[in-house]
Amino acid sequence: YAGPQDAACDSCTGRKRKAVKSCLVCLVSYCEDHLQPHYDSPNFKKHKLVDPSKKLQENFCSRHDEVMKIFCRTDQQCICYLCNMEEHQDHETVPAATERAEKQKELQESRQQIQQRIQDREEVVNLFQQEVEAINVSADKAVEDSEKIFTELIRLLQERSSEVKQQIRSQQETEVSRVKDVQEKLEQEITELKRKDAELEQLSHTEDHNQFLLNYPSLPALRESTHSSSIKIRPLRYFTDVTAAVSELRDKLQDVLRDTWRNISLKVNEVDDLLSEPETRTELLRCLQGITLDPNTASIFLLLSEGNRKVTLTNQQQSYPDHPDRFTVFYQVLSEMILNGQCYWEVEWKAGGTDGCGGGVNIAVSSKNISRAGKSDGCLFGFNDQSWSLRCDTNGYKFWHDRVETPVPGPVSSRIGVFLDHRAGILSFYSVSKTMTLLHRVQTRFTQPLYAGNYLVNYIDFIKCSRSVPSLQVTDQNK
């Protein structure tokens, strides 16, 4: 039986059974028993059965109680045939099935886009996961290697400390032995001198003059000390010079460690500089930057839509409010966000026109300080020192900066990759197709925050920023 949340059979009397199908022709829901005629009778072959629905009555017109089988495109609503003959008679109407088929096609395209975005995001997530693993492996290896190196440094210092200690002790032993040897000889000399002094004292007390004179010549003469040359008076500091030398070594090591530590800290804190020049699209996508456009900078002939990821060049002025950041002459627009650190985005474009003259787009990065009002060089991407611009058209590429034109060889591609490393001062443009080709590379010093910029020229109709891979897609609808 049908519960509160179930669609009930409209043919059951008394307690309603649970419906198993709803008929879009009969606009009635049936239980399994009452549905059987739709399977058995050929009269119901063209009826469309769908999963049971409690909202079948919404298919009836509230005014005429008729089935709404018509769709009014003017009012974007379903109507019955009586509504179509009355208040909707001058409107654009089509059978509801026709409108459904078109909307179904759009729905499928939207699903494909969503699925593609999911796939792209999953690929990027996988890349980031790989990067996390690579960071962890590299960090562990760096810690292990640095510990080994510091252990080796400690061992070397300990060896040097042991050598100094051994040298000091050896020299101490030598010096002590030398001093004690001289000391022993001096002590022997003192003993001999004391003996002689006693003899002289005894002679000096002899009262008999004759005895004194007879014994006096027999006394040996006092010889000069043989150890006097070994006696040197030295300051009592001996090994203090060693301490001073070791202290000097310590101070020098501290200076070296301090200066080297700054370099080590810089390397640790700037690990991302290792990716300053990625070589593959996979590496570039790790620096993926979503791009949205700033409506306050867009020319009044540029229509922004799709969350400010699409800009259309139109013949009608847009009702933008006055803003000092708006480009007043050139069909230009800047991104909303500042391009910090390492950034990568892609630009997809298509030249318009059938007469061979094609069209082009300028893909740029620019300082926010670029001029906005008027048509001077200070306002145009690539014609001042505030911006760098790659001009793309069907004939090839040209790079502009500060009014200097540089021809850029390379395969013409409908997709251009842009890589910016603000800190390293690197700006690179790539042709993106089945392979990645570096078109042009700039090495400079960026002193101001930078923004992505785009200039639509000639027959270019619109630029679109993709959500899955930030890109600009340029086509031509006017032609």
For residue 50, the tally of other CB atoms under 10 A from its CB is 11
Residue 469 has pLDDT above 80, yes or no: no
119 Cβ contact partners less than 8 Å away, ≥ 6 residues apart = 468
Domain membership flag for residue 449: yes
Task: Classify residue 472: in a domain, yes or no.
Answer: no
Which residues lie across from 437 on neighbouring strands? 431
**Rounded mean pLDDT of 456-467?**
43
What integer pLDDT is reported at residue 234 of this predicted model? 59
Q: Is 144 helix (H, G, I), strand (E, B) or coil?
A: helix
Give yes or no for a contact between 333 and 381, defined as CB atoms under 8 angstroms apart: no
Which residues form the domain of 441?
Answer: 288-466
Position 92 scores a pLDDT of 93
Q: Which of the four pLDDT bands, split at 50, 70 and 90, describes residue 465?
A: very low
On whether residue 313 sits in a domain, the answer given is yes
- With pLDDT > 70 as the criterion, what percentage of the chain qualifies? 86
Gap between the Cα atoms of 220 and 199, Å rounded: 11
Distance CA 54, CA 277 (A): 60
Q: Is the pLDDT of residue 375 over 70?
A: yes
Model pTM score: 0.46
The pLDDT, as a whole number, for residue 464 is 43
d(CA 300, CA 317): 5
Return the pLDDT at 269.
63
**Cβ count within 10 A of residue 476:** 18
Predicted local confidence at residue 436, as pLDDT: 86
Element (H, E) at 421: strand 415-421
Q: Mean pLDDT throughout 55-72?
A: 84
pLDDT (0 to 100) of residue 182? 87
Q: What is the mean pLDDT of residues 327-355?
A: 81
pLDDT band (50, 70, 90) for residue 335: very high
Q: Is residue 13 part of a domain?
A: no
pLDDT of residue 270: 59
Q: What's the pLDDT score for residue 235? A: 56
Inside any domain, residue 358? yes
The 10s digit of each residue's pLDDT in 397-413 is 999 999 999 999 988 88
Is the pLDDT score of 427 beyond 60? yes
Q: Which CATH number belongs to the domain containing residue 451 in this structure?
A: 2.60.120.920
Q: Considering only 128-137, 314-323, 379-388, which range has the smallest mean pLDDT?
A: 128-137
pLDDT value at 166 more than 70: yes
Confidence band for 414, pLDDT divided at 50, 70 and 90: confident
Give first-to-last CA distance, the chain, whole Å. Answer: 63
Beta strand pairing status for 473-474 and 342-349?
parallel
Looking at residue 459, what is its pLDDT?
39
Is the pLDDT at 473 greater than 80? The verdict is no
* Angstrom distance (rounded) from CA 392 to CA 359: 8
pLDDT score of 313:
77
**Quick check: is 133 in a domain?**
no
Q: Would you say the C-alpha torsion 145, 146, 149, 150 has a positive or negative sign? A: negative
Task: Name the residue among 65, 100, 72, 66 with its Cα closest to residue 87.
Answer: 72
Of 148 and 285, more confident: 148
- The answer to the question of residue 237 being in a domain is no
Sorting pLDDT into bands at 50, 70 and 90, what band is 227?
low
Identity of the highest mean pLDDT range in 45-54, 58-67, 381-390: 381-390
Span 250-280, pLDDT tens digits: 888 888 888 787 777 766 765 554 444 677 8
Count of domains forming the chain:
1
> Does residue 443 belong to any structural domain of this protein?
yes
| Contact predicate 416/304, CB 8 Å | no
Q: How confident is the model over 188-214, as a mean pLDDT?
A: 88
% of the chain surpassing 90 pLDDT: 34
C-alpha to C-alpha distance for 434 and 301, rounded to whole angstroms: 35
| Per-residue model confidence (pLDDT) at position 359 | 59
**pLDDT for 40-53, tens place per residue?**
888 898 888 888 88
Instruction: Out of 22-26, 248-252, 364-368, pick the least confident.
Output: 22-26
For residue 479, pLDDT over 60 is answered with no
| Closest listed residue to residue 286, CA positions, set 367, 364, 341 | 341
What mean pLDDT do residues 309-324 have?
Answer: 85
User: What does the pLDDT look like over 125-158, one tens digit per residue?
Assistant: 887 788 788 888 988 998 999 899 989 999 999 9
Residue 354 has pLDDT above 70, yes or no: no
Helix (H) or strand (E) holding 312, with range, is: strand 310-313
